[in-house]
Amino acid sequence: MKIKNAQFFITVRKFLQIYLLKNRCCSENTIKSYTDSLKLYFAYLECEKGIPLLKVDWDCFNYENVSNFLTWLSEARGCSRSTQIQRLTGIRAFIRYAGILDMTTVPIQAEIEKVKLRKPEKKLVPYLSKEQLSVFLAQPDISKRNGLRDMVFLTLMYDTAARCQEMVDIKISNLVLDSESPCIYLTGKGEKTRVVPLMNKTVLHLKHYLDKFHPVETRSGDDYLFFTVSHREHHRMSEDNVAAFVKKYGEQAKRICPDIPDRVHPHMLRHTRAMHWYQDGMPLTLLSEILGHAQIETTRIYAYADTTMKREAIQRATKDSNQNISDAIWANDEETMRKLVGLKK
């Protein structure tokens, strides 16, 4: 292999195994996405350009090849516009990293940046109204052991706007219940930990759940808060298990409230909580902090007005401009703001 070739593949290895993992602290999903982007690009070069993997070098990264690669994804593989953008993002990230190591690759970066893709139309975030949420959360039969577990799980998931993975990873030591400001420590993407305050009603549910599922005499901080039992041993609950009971309760709730979406999934509870916070007036910066988003741009998906918000805005606009409008509970309240962002327990 030529030295030029060798240096190229050394850069690929450093990008995937060192830079993304250790320097950027990217999640497994992000690393997999970028890895798949490069794999597919190499596959395109071999299938369409007749360039085997061992012959790939920097000359293969140019405007024409990358543009045609995106067309190939669409026509030959049937990939959506979102997937094409995801693959282009992975290639750009790799080229930008190469520019950090070797200034001679900067012109390549400038050329790849010229490749443009029209972004797909933004879809409205699926979420439950407060009325729909009440019906949904009432579905678990709390007279049964698993029903009680499911009710506490869903209540906590909504209260904290946690991701499904964050929920099943919770250990008893992550809870701070006997405090003036009860909270929970959640570990999200990139192993980043954030503190989310808990509402008093949720704390009561959790204490009752702990007494029943984790008796004090056998309780350990290293135990998973939510678990399944197999061969008389406790195991971390799987995300598939969560998806199954969320789907079941969603179908039950729809029979009572037809307006509930046809498919209710775990992440919808995160969207629901975020939308309710936003509709109640929470600033996007604070919402982004609580949700654990690395960039506020990610949080902007909630920054649109639904019919109710538009109607209220019009009503406020028609009132006397001197009339006071009630503030959100955290407005001008420094202590509440500190608790919400995790600056105070």
Domain residue extents for the chain: 3-113, 130-303, 307-338
Say if residues 293 and 172 touch (Cβ distance below 8 Å). no
Determine the pLDDT at residue 171.
96
pTM here is 0.62
State how far Cα 8 lies from the chain centre. 33
Would you place residue 220 in the very low, low, confident or very high pLDDT band (cuts 50, 70, 90)? very high
Helices and strands, counts by H and E, the chain: 15, 5
**E runs forming strands in the chain:** 175-176, 183-187, 193-197, 227-230, 233-236
Of residues 192 and 75, the one with the higher pLDDT is 75
Helical H segments across 169-318, by residue range: 200-213, 239-256, 266-279, 284-291, 296-299, 307-318
CATH number listed for the domain at residues 3-113 = 1.10.150
Which pLDDT score is estimated for 326?
47
Distant-in-sequence, close-in-space partners of 154: CB < 8 Å, separation ≥ 6 = 136, 137, 140, 246, 249, 269
From the candidate CATH numbers 1.10.443.10, 1.10.1490.10, 3.40.190.10, 3.40.50.450, the one assigned to the domain spanning 130-303 = 1.10.443.10
| Span 254-280, pLDDT tens digits | 999 999 999 999 999 999 999 999 888
DSSP 62: S
3-state secondary structure of 113: helix
* CA 70 centroid distance within chain: 26
Which comes out higher in pLDDT, residue 217 or 121? Answer: 217
